[in-house]
Amino acid sequence: MKTYLMIGASAFVLGAGSMAYVSQAAMAAAQPQAKTYRMLGLFGDVVKIIESQYVSEVDDTKLIQSGIDGMLTSLDPHSGYLDPESFDDMRDQTRGEYGGLGIEVTSEDGVVKVISPMDGTPAFRAGIKAGDYITAVNGESVLGLTVTEAVKQMRGKPGETVALTIAREKTDPFDVKLIREVIKPKSASARMEGDYGVLRVGAFNEKTTDEAEAAFAELKAKNPNIKGLILDLRNNPGGLLDQAVGISDLFLEGGEIVSQRGRDPRDVERYNARPGDMTGGLPLVVLINSGSASASEIVAGALQDRKRAELVGTTSFGKGSVQTVIPLRGGVDGALKLTTAKYYTPSGRSIQKTGIEPNLEVALTRDEAQIIANRAFQFSEASFKNALNADEGKVRRGAHQPAEAPPETFDAKKDFQITRATDVLRYGSVALTPKLPKPTARMAEVVSKARIAEAKPAAATPAQK
């Protein structure tokens, strides 16, 4: 009661001196609101003009849905509108079972771009890669379509054949034929690599933490003398935040995993680990690459910051934002997928646009080493023109020679990043692991030589003499 009276008294004292200001403030607040209503009226006027004057009849519902989607996608690459059908598809996907091809895609300048194929799916088996552009589905162009519209064309009845036209850097466009399946990707699996276990997590759906725990328990039961574990998050496009927290929690005894912060600086939500490390403290290495995005970056960042694991591979994708799915009228009118926060690793770093850099940079192939040395061919969050800005002063590392790549004598049938991860486990740390010579990036050499040649005066021809 006393508190209430004190607040009331303060309000009364302030009120006497601020009455003139209140009317001015109310008018100022009304101005942007009036502008908003005017622009909404403009939207309605445009719809009416299209309805009456467009060359052919239009579907009002589709027209307005496209307008809503355009409004959201203008904010950032990960916001968008889900019509009722797409909303149902999304819920099926997060439950870990749906019909389709198994590709995580986004939109860049009106072109559908692959973030990552999912393990064990038709897209994965067909060799579709992160960074590929999908330009047509069954011979019909998808250029200019929203992601939602393009995905609709790729989905359908299991057993039907779908032809995708793929545009890939340094190659001519080509068609890939896939057969739709009911996608039931097993998001976690485990196997042995010599004395060490490899726990592969390919996505984060509602089953991921349970599947990972079960896969490791089975592996440990068969191999009680396992000496360490590699957590493979390469080409993992992300998924549910709570599952990223759950996977991190499997390896941590407590403390912060991740925090998310919204527009209001006071709006901070922290996620902490509970006691209990399922491995009993086994040495841990995490594998990442440029296809490791969002939820997989939360896991990698948490385990790196908490000194629970060292990271091997290449810099991750750099998606440091959180999307909230907001059903409209209970989902009857679909849902908004809206970016509502950024996430931060335990040390307080945001990886938006910059990605997480590994403790030991290792290119998978010599070709990949050259891609890293020639930034023009890299695909990451920073590639999007309307991506949210990174923290002030932070930029993604530019073109450079990667620390390591497979020597020419390395067996191409083996996985070089897995090999180096097992080396780190065997020697005890990245610092103690003997380093390999830096690979030479031929493309960088060619560019340098060309520039030197341009700078030199041309030799005189016989005619000039």
Residues assigned a catalytic role: 294, 305, 319
Write out the H or E segment, with its range, that includes residue 162. strand 161-167
DSSP 356: P
Q: Which two tokens stand for residue 52?
A: 């009456």
User: Which candidate, 396, 393, 383, places its Cα nearest to that of 77?
Assistant: 383
| Residue 381 C-beta-side C-alpha neighbours within 13 Å | 28
Assess contact for 131 and 383: CB atoms under 8 A: no
DSSP 403: S
Q: Which two tokens stand for residue 305?
A: 């910051």
SS3 state of residue 214: helix
DSSP 348: S
Angle at 308 between CA 306 and CA 310, to 5 degrees: 105
Handedness of CA 454, 459, 462, 463 (dihedral sign): positive
Handedness of CA 456, 459, 464, 465 (dihedral sign): positive
Residue whose structure tokens are 């959180």: 322
Q: Which two tokens stand for residue 199?
A: 């726990």
Q: Which two tokens stand for residue 128?
A: 């579709």
CA distance 191 to 185: 17
Assess contact for 129 and 108: CB atoms under 8 A: no
Q: Cβ neighbours of residue 241 under 8 Å, at least 6 residues apart?
A: 258, 260, 271, 295, 298, 322, 343
Cα–Cα distances in angstroms (integers) from residue 215 to residues 189, 208, 257, in the given order: 6, 10, 22
Q: Cβ neighbours of residue 268 under 8 Å, at least 6 residues apart?
A: 259, 260, 261
User: Which candidate, 319, 74, 310, 295, places its Cα nearest to that of 205?
Assistant: 295
CA distance 432 to 242: 35
User: Which candidate, 320, 317, 321, 355, places its Cα nearest to that of 339?
Assistant: 321
